[in-house]
Amino acid sequence: MTDETVDCYNCGRPNPEWAQVCRSCGVALRHGEARVAPQGPFPTDRDSLISMGAVIGTILLAVLVGLFVSGLNPTEPTVGEATPTPSPTIEPTQTSEPDATPSPSPQPEATPTPLPGRLAFGQSLGENGSVEEEERTFTPGMSFAYSITVEDGLGVSQIENEVVRIEEGGRPVVLPREAVSVDPESSTFGYVVGPADSLIDAWGSGTYQWRVYADDELIARRRFNLADG
């Protein structure tokens, strides 16, 4: 390798003798030709123009290739996707069933409507026709009497008496209704039926209910007992 240089006819910069293109302006070197100074700010000779065109073409080609490659592999913007928060699952609570079926609540018993008359049982009657000393249980050797009192007066000329035996499985009537004449102006009526022995023999021992009606309307009722002894 020699130390000789070749001046670029375009820019005048020295280049090694073996260089083919000026290392300063890129114009092809003309070995053996004297430098020709350009007449203007840009070179006008054919070789310089060709060299410059090649450089510009190379640059444009590189730009086009870069655009083409970027079109083949577009960079998609990274979009953060929100991770859905799972909703809590509410499981139905299993209600334990009672082991035993609850028994129905007892219904309150209807309060009977007070009746206008009052019955009393005993062994004898007083001067006004009412029972003097009340009894509820009658045994052999006792007398049986009853009386009914209505404060506002009996208001009828006759009443009806009915005796019903109280026992499980039914309430058979022992004595059908029997009419008895009374004073409508009086408030009390009493009657001695007879010895309790005859009632016990006819009806038997047990619990009974005496009912009194006036014009087919129940005006008094009360229980009594007959016992063998």
Residues 74-88: tens digit of each pLDDT? 555 555 555 555 555
Closest CA to 199 of 139, 120, 133: 139
CA angle 13–57–67, rounded 5-degree value: 130
Which amino acid is present at 15?
N
Tokens of 7: 């001046």
| pTM greater than 0.75 (yes/no) | no
Tracing tokens 């052999």 back to the chain, one arrives at 140
Q: How many CA atoms within 13 Å lie on the side-chain side of 96?
A: 3
Domains and their CATH numbers in the chain: 5-71 (no CATH), 117-226 (2.60.40.1930)
For residue 229, what pLDDT is reported?
75
The answer to whether 38 and 44 have CB atoms below 8 angstroms apart is yes
Distance CA(171)–CA(209), nearest Å, equals 10
Where residue 36 falls among pLDDT bands split at 50, 70, 90?
Answer: low
For residue 63, what pLDDT is reported?
85
Stronger pLDDT, 176 or 43, i.e. the higher one: 176
pLDDT one-digit tens code per residue, 127-144: 888 998 999 999 999 999
For residue 38, pLDDT beyond 70: no
pLDDT one-digit tens code per residue, 83-121: 555 555 656 555 555 555 666 666 665 666 789 999 999
Q: Over the Cα atoms of the chain, what is R_g?
A: 70
192 CB-near residues (< 8 Å, 6+ apart): 124, 125, 143, 144, 145
